Every structure is written in structure tokens, then in C-alpha cells.
Amino acid sequence: MLMTRSSSPTDGLATLSAQVHEDLAKIRYATGNWNIPVQKDEEDVLDVAIIGGGQGGLTACFGLRRQGVTNTQIFERAAKGGEGPWVTFARMITLRTPKHVTGPDLGVPNLTPQSWYEARYGKEAWQSLDKISRHDWQSYLDWVRDTLELPVVNDQELVHVEWTDGLLRLTFRNAAGVETKRWARRMVLATGIDGGGAWFVPPFISDNLPKSVYAHTHENIDFAALKGKRIGVLGAGASAFDNAATALESGVGRVDLCLRRTKIPAINPYRWMENAGFLAHFSELPDLTRWRFMRCIYNLNQPPPQDTFWRCRKHENFAFHPGTPWNSARMDGDEIVVETPNGEMRFDFLIIGTGFSIDLKHRPETQDFADSVMLWSDHFTAPEGEESTLLSSHPYLGQRFQFLPKDPADPKAPMLAAIYNFTFASMPSMGLSGASISGMRFGVEKLTRGIARDLFVEDGEKHLESLLSYDTEELISLDPPTV
């Protein structure tokens, strides 16, 4: 494939990385660290701890650096190479977003996905590309992490959060069970699409079937072991179709995909949302308007892309069944029996594509303060006929992504103000930002400016003292220079 930057992909990316550093040097004005160092119990205190080393965490860290907040650390529970969904449980072939999407670059041209792709494969390859593959997207994120030298520590799961003397005390645990603790002034939760709760499996499945006969779409699935078997897939979203296609391509006997909707969703609200007005300013809207926006978006759902649908449809042993919700499930010997309004269906294995539930008590990093967090249900009452149990379960966030307390007098209220929720659960409050490539740049700008604002205001008196003691002379001579 024709290379345009160098004779090899490695050389091309190395050249591009050097150009990124040149770009950042040209726009480095006022990006130096301005925070005043803090220690607690003879330990250095982080200005910001970022939980999650996927695209959201990496971009948030870069954004903070651009704001002059450099005393940061990213903590990622997965081993290196396993961050995010792209090479773990994502089973699409390409991203669903347009190839010209930007995000982790934060407006630096040589850091964009297009620049990376052209350096890796050549300009002609970019011109002929439809969408970026998920594996290339992960490689791009890895390159961003390495090029920017972002401070990621892997194999560190946040399991406990305390508030002591105006600081966060964070306890991390690695895969071997060893715990470490860190102090931080602020914390960003960038834990992805399920970061506000847990992946959801209907109780009639989890309560009645052995775990060996079903899996959620986010789990590791041994598709090779399903060869020749009858697979039932529940769900109408893109991930349900991605898993159905992967099963079909792995040689299963048959796949029947069932959905409660009377037809497969066709309109993708994400395409409408990709405009600067919505992406940058949605969070400024009144509660009722935001509620109505999100109720429409959640009800429309995101359909499978056309190529994903045809990826399934081309197989003669694939069928989809609109208007066919699953009402119950039981075992009959080695067979799974699923009852639907249209009759009984029998399978050997089930794949569940029913998304996730929002409940902060289900996450180890939020369970310590979950009961104190204000939800939409605590703050807003929908007009009759416009209720939504799902939307009501989301946290109601402040203008800088920070958690708010149900009760302002709650002793945990100051702690909540120091924690910023940059996950998918922020969507009803903040729009398409926390776990979405499409809204990332706009969300990170709002998030990082907000954190920088909070840190500066908190230390306002100290910064004033710094100014009052500032004694660097600029005028050093009263005599003109001699020629």
C-alpha cells in the first residue's frame, strides 16, 4: 500500500509523533502547571485521579494538561492492551461513527485519526476508507497514549473511596489482591458505557437458567464451542446484531434474533446529534427540554448499521423476529425453552443484548457514596405521559459533570463535588460526551475547564499570595544599550 509520509508504517508514525510534539510546542502558551503542590501524611497528593484508561480517560488527561493541570494519574483496572471495548468485547468490524470524527486530538490536526491513518496506510487508503476498523481505532488510541506520554497505571481497580480533611482517599486493588492507596483533590470517572451501573440480564433468564447456557454481549463468548448449535439472541441494538453476525461467521447452526419492537429501529439519532450546537450546549438547556430530548433519543435507540444488518442477513440460517419479546425461559433437559407471545422457541445457547442498568451501587468505585447522589428522580418530575424509569435512574449532574447531593447537608456533599462523572450515565444531564467518540471533544473541553476552574477557585487566596510575593524583574536596565 502506498505510503506518503515514510517508507514504512513505523517510520511514518514516528514522524507524525514528532510533528505532534512540534504542534504542542507552538501552542504551549499558558499550559504550564500552575497548581500549588499539596502533601498529606508526607505523601504527594494528585490534583486529579482519572479512573479508566480508555478513550475517555486518555482524552480527559490530555485535556487537563492543555489547561495546565499536569499533576494527574490514570488508573486502569485492565492489563495493558485490554482497555476499553475495542479489542475485548466489541464485535463490530468497524466503528459506527463517520471516519472524519475527531475526539482524542482536541483540535490538534496531526493528532487526529485521519493523520494517524494516513501515516499508517497512506493518503489513498484514507480516501477509499468507509469507516475505521475497531482494531485500528484501538491502535490509534495506543499511539495517542504513547505519543503524549500519558501517565497510565494498569491493573489498578478502584475499590474504595473516602473523604478525609478535604481530600479523596482512594484504595486500589490489583489482580493479585494487593491494595495501594493514593490521595487526590479531584477524581474523574471515565469508566465507559457501563460506568453508571451494570450490564443487564432479565431476571427471568438469570434466575431460571444456568450461567453456562447464556452470556451477555459484553462477556467473553467461546463462539467456536457453539458451532452447529441453535442460538437465540435477544435485543434490537447494534451489539445484538454484532454478536449474531459473529456467531454466524463462527459456524453456528442457526441464529434467531428476537426483539419486542414491531420493527427494527431505522433512524439513528446520533447522526442528528453530531452538530456543534447540541454537542457543546445541550447541558445549558432547562430540565424539561433536556428530558424531552433524551426521552426521544432513548426511545429511538441506535439501530444496527446497514453493513452490520447485511452481515447477518446474508446467512440463510439467520432470522429476525420483530414483535417477539421473551416472557420466560426454562430448561427442558439440555434445551432452553423460551416462551414468547408467538409461541415457544428452543435453543442451545442465548446471547443477551439488553444493554445495561443505571445503578451506582453496582460499581465498586461509586458504591461508597451511591446513596448520597442526586438522581433525576430526586430532582425532576416528568409531565404525565412523559415518564421514563430509565432516565429517572441516571444521576443528575452539575454543570461541570460533578455529582450533586440529594441533601445539601449530607456530610458527603463536599466529596461529591470533587467527583466528576464522565461516563455514559452523564448523558441526560450533559448530552453526548462521556462515553461517545462523537461528543468527546466538546465534553472534555467542558469537563477540564470545570476542573481547572474548581482547583483555581479553591486555591484563590494562595494564588493571590503567589502574586504578592512575585519579584521577577523584567526591566533590568535603565541605560540604553551601547552599540
Average pLDDT by stretches of 10, the chain with 483 residues: 54 95 96 95 97 96 98 96 91 91 94 97 96 96 97 97 97 97 98 92 97 96 97 94 97 97 85 92 97 92 86 96 97 97 97 94 96 98 96 97 97 98 96 86 96 98 96 88 79
Report pLDDT for 146. Answer: 97
Report pLDDT for 9. Answer: 77
CATH class of the domain whose range is 201-266+303-354: alpha beta
| Spatial contact of 389 and 400, defined as CB atoms under 8 Å apart | no
Report pLDDT for 7. Answer: 54
Report pLDDT for 4. Answer: 45
CATH class of the domain whose range is 9-196+358-460: alpha beta
Domains in the chain: boundaries: 9-196+358-460, 201-266+303-354
Report pLDDT for 2. Answer: 40
Report pLDDT for 435. Answer: 72
Q: 9-196+358-460 with 201-266+303-354: one CATH topology?
A: yes
Report pLDDT for 3. Answer: 42
